[in-house]
Amino acid sequence: MMKIITISALVIAASAQAAEYHVAKNGTNRNAGSASRPLLTIQGAADLAQPGDTITVHEGIYRERVNPPRGGSSDDQRIVYQAALGETVVIKGSEVVTGWREVKDNVWTVTLPNSFFGEFNPFADLIQGHWFDPKGREHHTGSVYLNGEWLVEATDLESVLAAPEVEAEPLWFAQVDERNTTIHAQFVSVDPNQELVEVNARRTVFYPDQPGQNYITVRGFTLTQAATSWSPPTMEQIGLIGTHWSKGWVIENNTINYSVCAGLTLGLSDMGDYLGNLTGYTNMIKDAMGKGGWNKENVGSHLVRGNKISQCEQAGICGSLGGAFSVIENNEISYIHVRQLFKGQEQGGIKLHGAVDTVVRNNLVHHAPRALWLDWMGQGAEVSGNVAFNNSTDLYLEVNHGPALVANNILLSPLAVSSKSRGTAFVHNLFGGRLSAGTTTRTTPYLEPHGTLVAGYHGNAPGDDRYYNNIYVGKRPGYPMFVGEYNDPELPVTMQGNLYLRGEPYAAEVDPMVSNLRPDLMPVQKPDGIYLEWDTQAEWSNASRQIVTTELLGFAGVSGARFEQADGSPIRVDRDYLGRSRNQQNPSVGPFELPAGKVQLKIWPKESK
């Protein structure tokens, strides 16, 4: 009894010692950080905070980079960074620039000493890295903003000095010498000295220099305007906000926008110098497991939820290995890589390498290239309840060996799924676009179940997929829903209980159901969310379908791992997209468990059941 009392006393004492530091625009870093004597900068509070402490930031714009020097010690003793309830707190990687001089109609210039930027000048910093294609020109991580909207970097000064094209985005161009940075910019019909003009001055907004800063919460901020670098899967991935190879972060209810490359990174630290190819990435994985400590005890297990992420030219969320064992849910990700000034192989709404036992659910992704992209070792991943439209591709599965579950998603772009993987179960989805099954010559690793230990390597011929109770919507009767072929006889494909609306069934389907009804799948934006009109036909229930379970799905052919949840418990897809219980004897086809008839469904944000 004495030992128990002693331990309890220690816990109570530790809780009593937890501090709350306040930050406000009227503070000073000479203060102690109380509500009445707040600190001036978030970094000032970060330098003081210890595990269990909370940093509350009050209304205002904070132009700084937050570099947490430490994290929490456990999920219960984390360091929390939060915006004060009901107050708007903006952290910017930019600085205000005044003193513009007009050189000709709608073209203005300013010269800044390089000391304005300190040790990092984004206007001298080129975007480059593995799998990056500059499209024949130079790009810098600097940017110019007019009233919060960014201008476009021109290829040369002459383009800026020319008369701005009607309805074209205004341009800027910078020249950097040993002492000064001179910027020319088009400000059409406005005086920039009378408006808010900002330029990038910091690479990131919230990112620890050192890896292993665990158990940090970042909540309720607007994080914006950062000169982020290209973040391929073989190099350190620095986002506007990023976890930097740490464990147990909670990033929730933030607005994250205007990142030159990546918005939120859950990725790699600097492991070394690798080639930007198959060999380089394979070697990097080996080092990550060795000197990098890539395992569940050290890295990943993040919770990313409720964020609004937009205007990022590489990815909304990306992470190489560091997003394993995480949950990414209820985020809206939009307008990613819309400028298309450069390109590469890492651009998407959510792009994850090594999404081991990672859950990607209930997210809305639109106006992006590949909306959801799982690449290499997405073993045990779950992609469920997501909505995607107006993307080049909604779901791209690249060189994974399974098992992975894709269930209750609404994927409405012209290419709903593109897969160069195997061992995936597609269950109760609505596919408003075509599906592609492709092959690649690459040999990639598969893992021991629920861990990061490599169990072997295998090629990537398509096969071993399962399709149960999905709806495919074609453009016209007989429209083929599949592009490519499943051509590996050793990895058969199972298709059962699927419905084809004005689409041609795949040859492997046994007794497919076909209907000429084609619903209107254009999402409707209303003040309170996004709606979809849906018309369920009574005859759709004539086919006999079954609840999809672990027992039905079995084992992935390559990895030998069972289809199950991340904690090892069995899968049972017995609830629909809206959270309704499915008919246990004969569940409805597609994501909605609804009676026959026409309804208008609110699909985003999802309401709790």
DSSP letter string, 527-548: TTEEEEEEEE-GGGGGS----E
**pLDDT tens-place string over residues 583-597:** 999 999 999 999 989
Tell me the C-alpha distance between 200 and 118, whole Å: 12
Domains of the chain as residue ranges with CATH: 1-59 (3.30.1910), 96-200 (2.60.40.1180), 216-470+529-573+582-594 (2.160.20.10)
Tell me the C-alpha distance between 416 and 410, whole Å: 9
* Share of residues in the chain with pLDDT > 90 (%): 81
Tell me the C-alpha distance between 559 and 446, whole Å: 6
The values of phi and psi at residue 281, to 5°, are -70, -35
Closest Cα partner for 247 from 199, 299, 291, 290?
299
Over residues 272-285, the mean pLDDT reads 89
**pLDDT tens-place string over residues 464-516:** 999 999 999 988 877 888 877 776 767 889 999 999 998 888 887 888 899 88
Tell me the C-alpha distance between 160 and 163, whole Å: 8
More confident residue, 455 or 542: 455
Question: In terms of DSSP bridges, do strands 197-200 and 180-186 run parallel, antiparallel, or are they unpaired?
Answer: unpaired
- Predicted pLDDT at 296: 96
The values of phi and psi at residue 42, to 5°, are -65, -40
- Predicted pLDDT at 416: 97
For tokens 């999920």, what's the residue?
75
pTM of the model: 0.95
The three-state secondary structure class of 552 is helix
Tell me the C-alpha distance between 429 and 431, whole Å: 6
- Residue 187 in this model has a pLDDT that exceeds 60: yes
- Predicted pLDDT at 426: 98
Over residues 445-458, the mean pLDDT reads 96
- Residue 391 in this model has a pLDDT that exceeds 90: yes
Residue pair 506/465 in contact by the 8 Å Cβ criterion:
no
Give residue 600's identity as a one-letter amino acid code. Q
| Band of pLDDT at residue 5, cut at 50, 70 and 90 | very low
Q: How far is CA 91 from each of CA 58, 205, 255, 270, 434, rounded to the nearest angstrom?
A: 11, 7, 10, 25, 41
- Predicted pLDDT at 462: 85
Residue pair 160/186 in contact by the 8 Å Cβ criterion:
yes
Least confident of 100-104, 162-166, 438-442, 485-489: 485-489
Element (H, E) at 550: helix 550-553
- Predicted pLDDT at 11: 43
- Residue 322 in this model has a pLDDT that exceeds 70: yes
Closest Cα partner for 179 from 115, 249, 248?
115
Q: How far is CA 395 from each of CA 340, 398, 606, rounded to the nearest angstrom?
A: 20, 10, 20
**H runs (alpha helix) in 95-151:** none
The values of phi and psi at residue 14, to 5°, are -65, -40
Q: How many CB atoms within 10 Å of residue 593?
A: 20
Tell me the C-alpha distance between 572 and 609, whole Å: 18
SS (H, E, C) 340-379: CCCEECCCEEEEEECCCCCEEECCEEECCCEEEEEECCCC
**pLDDT tens-place string over residues 38-58:** 999 999 999 999 999 999 999
- Predicted pLDDT at 17: 80
Element (H, E) at 459: strand 454-460
Closest Cα partner for 332 from 530, 149, 89?
530
**pLDDT tens-place string over residues 84-134:** 999 999 999 999 999 999 999 999 999 999 999 999 999 999 999 999 999
Closest Cα partner for 421 from 377, 390, 481, 385?
377
Residue pair 403/381 in contact by the 8 Å Cβ criterion:
no
Tell me the C-alpha distance between 308 and 231, whole Å: 20
